[in-house]
Structure 1
Amino acid sequence: MFDKVRKAWHRLLSAPRTERQGERDRRAHNLFEAAAVYVAACAEDDQDRIDEASGWVSPEALSFGVNELACRALIALARERDESPGTVARSLLGLPTA
């Protein structure tokens, strides 16, 4: 009988730990990592990786990370081309130069 109580007690104590472990796994990825994987997956049209990266952080954090990645990429590309970020952005989107 003591063995049944011990096993039930162990299951009770183990359940919150499993839940907390899942929370730690979810927090293992930061928003910039999620944004990088998300954008790369979008470029490669990989829906499974898009869905996976979307689950790593909140939608707001992912949006911020994607925006930050876009800004950094645009600045790097503008420096590489020796053009203004505005000119490069318009070029990438196929818009006429202003």
Structure 2
Amino acid sequence: MLAWSGSDRASRLPRDWPRRRARILRRDPVCGVCQRAPSTEVDHITPGDDHSDANLQGICTPCHASKSGREGGRAAAARRASAYRPTEPHPGLIER
């Protein structure tokens, strides 16, 4: 299964994404995370749909994969936790 299969991420990018991407890669020729490798991808610093230049950074492929994996893991853990969290307090803990 492909990493992006089932994702709507590409459809949420602005129409001018190719231009923005090129501009950020020119601005940040070196990875914003490891500061060693050339930037080959553009990353949202804060996850979400803020596509402003201030929230975008050039990043190398290994750092981007690592960062995205950590963010995805945290999101999945939050979804799992909320799925099992009781919606009301346990009857033995209700004060009367």
Please classify the TM superposition score into its range, dividing by the shorter chain length.
Answer: 0.3 to 0.5
Q: Scaled by the length of structure 2, what TM-score is found?
A: 0.34
Q: Scaled by the length of structure 1, what TM-score is found?
A: 0.34
Q: Which of the two has higher C-alpha Rg? A: 1
